[in-house]
Amino acid sequence: MRITMDENATVNTAGEVLALIRDGRARTRAELVRLTGLSRATVSQRVESLLGGGFVYEAGEAPSTGGRPPQTLAFNSDAGVVLVADLDVTHARLAVADLSGSLLAESTGEIDIADGPDRVISWMLEGFEALLDRVSRGSASVRGIGIGVPGPVEYSAGRAVSPPIMPGWDGVAIPALVQKVHPVPVLVDNDVNIMALGEYWTNWRDRVDDLLFVKVGTGIGSGLVMHGRIYRGQNGAAGDMGHIRVPSAGSVVCRCGNVGCLEAVASGAALATELRAMGVDAQGVRDVAREATGGNTQAIRMIREAGRQIGEVLAGAVNLLNPGAIVLGGDVALAAAELVAGVREAVYERSTVLATNDLRVQTSELNERAGVTGAAVMIIESILLPVAVDEAIRTS
């Protein structure tokens, strides 16, 4: 139950306070109070914390409006950076961001997650060095690191848990490997969770409390934002949509050993297999996307049908969760608008009237940057809000 809070209260964070100062939108505590809707006491507390961490500094007195002139606040662009990585099965994106979450530099690369943690993490760390060079920062400026990986994660330990497509990673605590080089806070989460977080934070948090992000790539997974935060479940396995049965899928056998799983019929891997059966040279999800964007009508038809099947499963999720938005990302979703059209078709056919009343279904606006953006949000908020929240919040 949620008694003591307004259901529609705006999410306001230390990161947001910092962004307002950095962007020059707020120059004093009074302006922060007005723009955030936070109490004067809370704003003062956040500002003290930002001053204490060296993230902002007092830049002199503003003109008085009567009484003691207020101190202006300025963003300390030398306060440091965070490093972020969105590691997928076959490719990865790295970035360096400032402490308000703006990406300063990025790189991408082909990887094979099955090479195991030692090789992949080494590659990532080298990539981080190159990025730091590009923005002329040293290791000492790194305040934290955020990483997404394509499998379930025990979040508190940054440990991959029985990841089906990450051989060699099971039980590996990723932060320890990273901290050998960068002795700073390191947070690791499932890649779809960070994509959901990035999308929510950037485009949705003023409008909805609850969002379901679905990534349609080699596999199919989802990230659940509820009450404005990532929902992980008992074993960090929440959002694993790929093995839900699709009523219309019949008895197609899935790699998990079950039949009729969504992933067996509508994932990028399944679509590549279908395309190969038609004589198209499609090895993986990138080839499916290439065919679709190149105008292969068979590929587009398949993607629309995959959208309908994903929609059949999402219709159940909409009835159960009544989210404010469904956002579709991943290579397949980004390649063809037909995917979201198929999803809408099935969701609006099968979900209840009340649950679809305000529902928005659309593709990711951050596209391939959703992951690194979310990883930056994750680690920055952790750095800026280190204070333990009172236990009271667990009771609402």
Interface residues for a second copy in 70-129 (CB under 8 A)?
none
Site for a second copy in 32-61 (CB under 8 A): 38, 42
Closer of 240 and 291 to a second copy (Cβ): 240
Nearest to 210 by CA among 327, 290, 94: 327
Q: How far is the CB of 160 from a second copy (least distance, A)?
A: 11
Q: Residue from 19, 147, 313, 347 that binds a second copy (CB under 8 A)?
A: 313
Site for a second copy in 272-311 (CB under 8 A): none
* 214 contacts a second copy (rule: CB under 8 A): no
65-73, 115-123, 280-288, 319-327 -> range binding a second copy (CB under 8 A): 319-327
* 140 contacts a second copy (rule: CB under 8 A): no
Contact predicate 213/189, CB 8 Å: no
The 342-361 site mask, x for binding a second copy (CB under 8 A), equals -------xxxxxxx-xxx--
5-13, 118-126, 174-182, 288-296 -> range binding a second copy (CB under 8 A): 5-13
* 187 contacts a second copy (rule: CB under 8 A): yes
The C-alpha atoms of residue 309 and residue 103 are separated, in whole angstroms, by 35
DSSP character at residue 257 = S
Amino acid letter, 369: R
* 319 contacts a second copy (rule: CB under 8 A): yes
Closer of 123 and 201 to a second copy (Cβ): 201
The C-alpha atoms of residue 108 and residue 118 are separated, in whole angstroms, by 19
Closer of 140 and 389 to a second copy (Cβ): 389
389: alpha, beta or left? (left if phi > 0; alpha if psi -120 to 50) = beta
Nearest to 364 by CA among 207, 240, 198, 219: 198
The 147-186 site mask, x for binding a second copy (CB under 8 A), equals -----x--xx----xx------------------------
Q: How far apart are the first and last CA of the chain?
A: 5
92-100, 122-130, 172-180, 379-387 -> range binding a second copy (CB under 8 A): 379-387
Contact predicate 216/266, CB 8 Å: yes
Q: Residue from 160, 208, 292, 336 that binds a second copy (CB under 8 A)?
A: 208
Task: State whether residue 59 is helix, strand or coil.
Answer: strand
The C-alpha atoms of residue 115 and residue 121 are separated, in whole angstroms, by 10
21-29, 300-308, 361-369, 378-386 -> range binding a second copy (CB under 8 A): 378-386
Q: Residue from 31, 98, 189, 331 that binds a second copy (CB under 8 A)?
A: 189
Q: How far is the CB of 277 from a second copy (least distance, A)?
A: 25
Give Cα 188 to chain centroid, integer Å. 11
Task: State whether residue 222 is helix, strand or coil.
Answer: strand
Closer of 87 and 230 to a second copy (Cβ): 230
* 315 contacts a second copy (rule: CB under 8 A): yes
Cβ neighbours of 387 (radius 10 Å): 10
Closer of 89 and 196 to a second copy (Cβ): 196
The C-alpha atoms of residue 336 and residue 87 are separated, in whole angstroms, by 23
Site for a second copy in 234-273 (CB under 8 A): 234-241, 243-247, 256, 258, 260
Instruction: Tell me the number of residues near a second copy by CB under 8 A.
Output: 88
The C-alpha atoms of residue 91 and residue 113 are separated, in whole angstroms, by 8
Q: How far is the CB of 328 from a second copy (least distance, A)?
A: 16
Classify residue 376 as exposed, middle or buried by CB count within 10 Å of its CB (0-12, 13-18, 19+). buried
DSSP-assigned states of every residue in 86-117 = EE-SSEEEEEEEETTS-EEEEEEEE--GGG-H
Q: How far is the CB of 8 from a second copy (least distance, A)?
A: 8
Site for a second copy in 217-236 (CB under 8 A): 222, 224, 226-236
Amino acid letter, 230: I
| b (16+ CB within 10 A) / e for 257-293 | eeebbbbbbbbbbbbbebbeeeebebebbbbbbebbe
